[in-house]
Structure 1
Amino acid sequence: MRYSAAVLLAGVLTLSACSAGSLGSNDDDGSGKTAITFLTNNDPANVKVAEGVIAAFAAKNTDVTVKLDTRPQGSEGDNLVKTRLATGDMADVFEYNSGSLFQAIAPQANLTPVTGESWVGDLDPTFKQVVSADNEVYGSPWQNITGGGIFYNKPLYTKLGLQVPKTWADFMANNAKLKAEGVTPVEQTYSESWTSQVLVLADYHNVAAADPGFADKYTNNQAKFATTPQALAGFQRLEELKKAGYWNADYASAKYNEGLAAVATGKAGHYPMITFGVTAIETAAPGKVGDVGFFAMPGTDAAKNGVTLWEPSGIYIPKSTEGDKLAAAKKFQAFLASPDGCAAQAAATPVGGPFAVKTCKLPDDVAPAVKDLSAYVDAGAASPALEFLSPIKGPALEQITVEVGSGIRSAEAGAKLYDEDVKKQAQQLGLKGW
């Protein structure tokens, strides 16, 4: 998902990914500076952040030139990253998921460890955990800790007298009232299939609240989505919303930025999403960031209501980066783990959650959705997403959730298929018991 990831962003631009090798093999770009390439995803809001960070870094590091390279999101982007690492053609420094997808790119074999760098001590411990392998740290954070749940339109909630739901029954009652008013209750954007996973993945806090040992049992092949009622519920809720007719009419062709625009303008009441989407709302619907609130995925027990958290993606240096380029790449990586780097990211676009660097502070004027997320975190009503507790995440989930959300496959059949997808991933990772 990472969405990244988590980990995982998508946008309306499709920018071709250029080869790092096309920039030339010399460290010097002809101006006497060391030239490095930074690879990140092609979401417009993300590109804006990258450009802002590069400009801020250049102002403090006049001996380095950073060139921006972009790649697609989703499985296409995953494959591109793996291919470029395998061929030694990776950019000098790159952004990619933390957690399970980070483990899948074989960091010990492909990445440069940075455990001894001074800035590593400033990292949030939970982030440090998800960019480490065999006691070595490999990444600095890219943007913020985020939460998965539901974006909602605040003016619509005020107009209709709706309350933020803490149970699934209350959420469905709100959807019924929205539909009666002629408003799309829940936006879906299956043209960019990664977005279809959010409703299932963001339900993990409810799974953990009901079955605290699920992650370990799941990793050890002792629990399945299809046979664990709390885990199956995420697929069932996706199916239930489709059957109730609560999707937007164009859900099969709608795109991520269109989903953000729909909930920000009140065309839709809700949009299941991770709060990194806050950074893209200004691009999708200028001036409407303040109209979007956030709440955690409702479950069955209001007393246990809480949010599922995603750690930021990481900034990594491949082992193919050497010499002066390696030194320059480390400077860039360290900048992103500093207050100046955090400030540059916050200045470029609204932040989607707290920073994963202990020395960084959130701006006072953060978006309402970020304040809503922070309230859950401050209350301790939060759980890490499953992909940060287990190395297993099947790559076909987004295709399966599209099918369940489209009525092509039942919730039970989708969960069973995902269990098979997970089995393949676990076997590839060489996990015991699989």
Structure 2
Amino acid sequence: MTRLIPSAALAAALATMAGGAWAQEEEVTLTYLTDGSPDGVAVAEALTEAYTAQHPNVTFDLEQRPGGSDGDNLVKTRLATGEMSDIFAYNAGSLFQALNPTETLEPLDDLPNMAGVLDGFKGVVTGTDGKVYGVPLRAAMGGGIFYNVPMYEELGLKVPQTWEEFEANNEAIKAAGHVPVAQTYGDTWTSQLFVLADYFNVQAEVPDFAEKYTANQAKYADTPAAMRGFEHLQEGFEKGWWNEDFGAATYDDGLRMVAEGEAAHYPMLTFAIGAIQQNYPESLENVGFFAQPGPAGAPNGLTVWYLDAMYVPKGGEHTDIAKDFVNFAASPEACQIMIDTVGATGPLLVEGCDLPADVPRAVSDMLPYFQDGRTAPALEFLSPIKGPALEQITVEVGSGIRPAAEAAALYDQDVQKQAQQLGIEGW
């Protein structure tokens, strides 16, 4: 296919980002694969519409993928078969590394706007060759627990700092006739939060866990601090904290429940603030957020995700134009479009894009953890190993099918397979 812009002209166009038409007016349609969440789709639509307004000859064909392991498998299969869309949105961290980025993705270091992307994010989309392969598609996220503020006020509850205080709150909520904790195993990926969001507490107790875990010197099953997240799931089921339909309820059901007061808590990543703003705007200020509490006497802090990035696969028909769109997505202008579309869901990752003064309450609740330095990256950003079966295992524990100790041991087996596939030394 004839290139739309010679490479020198393309470099100039990228550098100026003047928003004018392409040098040649050939009509081009880029395919864009995004996740199927309401906020993910809304952001994709807003960014592509803004880019087409600047480049009328470029239009987009959006496709949604499922979440969880089904979505992971779809992305890997399309990359392996050369059938990936021109642009796609996917996770950073360990799942990004599992894509074999040095072989399947276009490096993006030369994009002009990459200079404004924060270094903390670049580290989670950097391949083994030291090149950067993605640009941020969302704000930094916290993993923890959304809570219904009016219910807390009605029952006179305080935000818990320890797991024991969280247990006491749940029992008071249950005694008052409310659902203590929403669980939504109809979307299996949502079952992982009690395990994954507990990593700040794991690291506080075992500072070298990530290093030893990666080197095959520490396991979930033989590290009490790491097994604790599985034990929390078992406890919640056994104590009747869940909603009755937890097996069939979906992610959107969980957001609705906590926003509208059907449940007191929903363990989730804070990117969901955008979906609440999209789907339940009248209840947005009813939702607060706190980090997953740890044991008594431990520091109280937040596990942080650098969640999604935008990538360009190798071998596409329209690589130059796709990279120009990704460069646009890394600009302060595009960052502002994201805020206008789904709201401010956390600290932003592009220089020149600042949080507005009137952020949602849940965002305000999250910021002190960052300001006080009480954060730790999720394990998947400290280690390339994350077993693909975790969400099925956590569904089993949270459904009373498998006890926590057995689940932790099973996950260790799943992790071993992943580490061997990645060729990590020591496995």
SS in 1 for 2:370: helix
Q: Using the alignment, how far apart are the partners of 1:326 and 1:363 within structure 2? A: 34
- Matching of residue 261 in structure 1 with residue 287 in structure 2: no
Offset of residue 303 of structure 1: 5.1
Q: Which residue in 1 is equivalent to 2:95? A: 101
Q: Using the alignment, how far apart are the partners of 1:307 and 1:282 within structure 2? A: 22
Instruction: Give runs of aligned pairs for residues 11-410 of structure 1, distance below 5 A.
Output: 32-133=26-127, 134-302=129-297, 304-322=299-317, 325-410=318-403
Residues 258 and 284 in structure 1, CA contact (< 8 A), matched pair in contact too = no
Q: Using the alignment, how far apart are the partners of 2:41 and 2:114 within structure 1? A: 25
Offset of residue 74 of structure 1: 1.1
SS in 2 for 1:148: strand
Offset of residue 359 of structure 1: 2.3
Q: Using the alignment, how far apart are the partners of 1:64 and 1:155 within structure 2? A: 47
Q: Using the alignment, how far apart are the partners of 1:332 and 1:302 within structure 2? A: 48
Q: Using the alignment, how far apart are the partners of 1:268 and 1:143 within structure 2? A: 27
Range that drifts further, 33-42 or 397-406: 33-42
Amino acid at match of 2:202: V
SS in 1 for 2:303: strand
TM-aligned CA distance change 1:244 to 1:27, over 3 Å: farther
TM-aligned CA distance change 1:291 to 1:27, over 3 Å: farther
Residues 113 and 328 in structure 2, CA contact (< 8 A), matched pair in contact too = no
CA RMSD, Structure 1 to Structure 2 (Å)? 1.6
User: How many pairs does the alignment contain?
Assistant: 407
Q: Which residue in 1 is equivalent to 2:19? A: none
Residues 108 and 134 in structure 2, CA contact (< 8 A), matched pair in contact too = yes
SS in 1 for 2:376: strand
Residues 28 and 59 in structure 2, CA contact (< 8 A), matched pair in contact too = yes
Residues 289 and 366 in structure 2, CA contact (< 8 A), matched pair in contact too = yes
Query: How does the TM-score come out when normalised to structure 2?
Result: 0.92
**Percent of counterpart pairs with the same letter?**
52
Amino acid at match of 1:93: I
Q: Using the alignment, how far apart are the partners of 1:52 and 1:227 within structure 2? A: 47
Residues 219 and 391 in structure 1, CA contact (< 8 A), matched pair in contact too = yes
Offset of residue 143 of structure 1: 1.3
- Matching of residue 412 in structure 1 with residue 405 in structure 2: yes
SS in 1 for 2:26: coil
Offset of residue 64 of structure 1: 2.2
Q: Using the alignment, how far apart are the partners of 1:250 and 1:89 within structure 2? A: 38
Query: How does the TM-score come out when normalised to structure 1?
Result: 0.91
TM-aligned CA distance change 1:169 to 1:320, over 3 Å: same
TM-aligned CA distance change 1:171 to 1:222, over 3 Å: same
* Cα deviation 1:351-398 (Å, max 9, x = unaligned): 321111122112222211111111111110000000000000000000
* Cα deviation 1:190-229 (Å, max 9, x = unaligned): 1110000011100000000111100000000000001101
Amino acid at match of 1:92: D
Structure 2 unaligned blocks of 5 or more: 5-23
Q: Using the alignment, how far apart are the partners of 1:149 and 1:205 within structure 2? A: 10
TM-aligned CA distance change 1:302 to 1:264, over 3 Å: farther
* Cα deviation 1:404-425 (Å, max 9, x = unaligned): 1111100000000000000000
